[in-house]
A = this chain, B = another copy of it.
Amino acid sequence: MIKIAIMGYGVVGSGLVELIDENREAKKCNEEIVITSILVRNKEKHKNKNHSEVLTTDIEEFFSKESDIVVEVMGEITKSLIYVKRALNLKKHVVTANKDLLAEYGEELFELANENGVALKFEASIGGGIPVIKSLIESLEGNNINSIKAILNGTTNFILTKMDKEKLSYEEALKEAQELGFAEANPEADVMGYDAARKLSLLSTLAFRKKVSWKNINIQGITEVESVDFDYADKINCKVKLLCISNNSDEGVYATVKPVLVENESVLAQINNEVNIVIFNGDSIGEIILIGKGAGKMPTGSAVYADVLDIVNKRFTKITAFKREEAKIIENLQGECSAVLRIENSKEQDIIKKCANEFTFIQVLQTQIEGETGVLVKANSEIEIDRFIDGLLANSYVKSIKKIIKID
By a beta-carbon cutoff of 8 Å, the part of chain A in contact with chain B is: 15, 19, 22-23, 28, 30, 123, 129-131, 134-135, 138-143, 265-267, 270, 282-293, 296, 298-299, 301-303, 305-306, 309-310, 313-318
Contacts and interface: CB of A to CB of B under 8 A. Distances in A.
Contacts of A313: 316-317
B286 A129 contact: yes
Contacts of A123: 139
Nearest to A263: B270
Contacts of A309: 138, 141-142
A293 B298 contact: no
16 contacts: A22-B142, A123-B139, A131-B140, A131-B288, A139-B303, A140-B306, A284-B298, A284-B301, A284-B302, A284-B305, A285-B293, A288-B290, A288-B291, A289-B289, A314-B314, A314-B316
Given A142-B305, A267-B270, A289 B288 contact: no
Nearest to A291: B289
Given A265-B270, A292-B289, A129 B284 contact: yes
Contacts of A299: 284-286
A138 B142 contact: no
Contacts of A316: 313-315
Nearest to A18: B284
Contacts of A129: 282, 284-286, 288
Contact of A290 (B28, B290, B310, B318): B290
A364 to B, nearest CB: 28
B130 A288 contact: yes
B306 A139 contact: yes
Given A286-B292, A289-B289, 17 more contacts: A19-B142, A22-B142, A129-B282, A129-B285, A129-B288, A135-B135, A141-B309, A142-B302, A267-B291, A284-B298, A284-B299, A284-B302, A285-B293, A286-B298, A288-B291, A314-B316, A315-B315
